[in-house]
Structures are given as structure tokens and as C-alpha cells.
Amino acid sequence: MSVLHQTSAQFVNIINHTASRIVAATLGGFFTTISITVGITLWWPFGETVEQVFAGGIFFFVFWACLFYWILLSANGSRAWIKVLSILLPMLIVDAIGLNI
């Protein structure tokens, strides 16, 4: 029991570390941006397919920059990862529906 408690405490320490927050902002932000880009390209309601592609392309860089700072400015690592997952998971569902997976 104490080993389990120790392991979970170590895990929380790692997740809350500044390095974890930076990884969440860079990598987490990047993958979240990809999921949002796929979603925008799939569901963009205006114009033909080529317009959808360009909308996704432009928003990619805008969202990447915004997400990076939104996640980085979290109080600690666990909050940063919660922000990542709060966008990433719903977007993955939206993407899966759009791609008929």
C-alpha cells in the first residue's frame, strides 16, 4: 500500500513539474492543434474543399501559438495536461465522427 502511495506521489510530482508543463505546452499543444486542424478541415461550412483545406492550414498556426501560451500559463503541470485533454479528447471524437472511423 505504501509502495503504491509512494509511486502515485512520485507520479503526481512528475506531472506537476515545470518540465511537464513545458512538454504539455509544446507536444500536447502540437497534437491538440493537429486534432483541431483536422476538425476544422472536416467541418468548415464555407466554400468548397480547397477552401476547407486552406482554412485548416491557416488556423493551424494560429491555434498552435494560442494553445502553447494558454497551456504554458497554467499554475502547474497537472492543470496544463487537463487543459490539453479537455480540448484533445472532444476533438478526437469530432474527428472520428467526421472521418467515419
- Compare residues 73 and 89 and give the one whose CB is closer to another protein: 73
Near another protein by CB under 8 A: residue from 15, 23, 72, 92: 72
Give 22's contacts (C-beta < 8 A, 6+ positions apart): 72
Burial class (CB in 10 A: 0-12, 13-18, 19+), 63: buried
- For residues 55 and 4, the answer to whether their CB atoms sit within 8 Å is no
Nearer to another protein, 2 or 49 (CB): 49
Q: Interface with another protein by CB under 8 A: which residues? A: 34, 37-39, 41-42, 46-47, 49-58, 60-61, 64-65, 68-69, 72-73, 95, 98-99
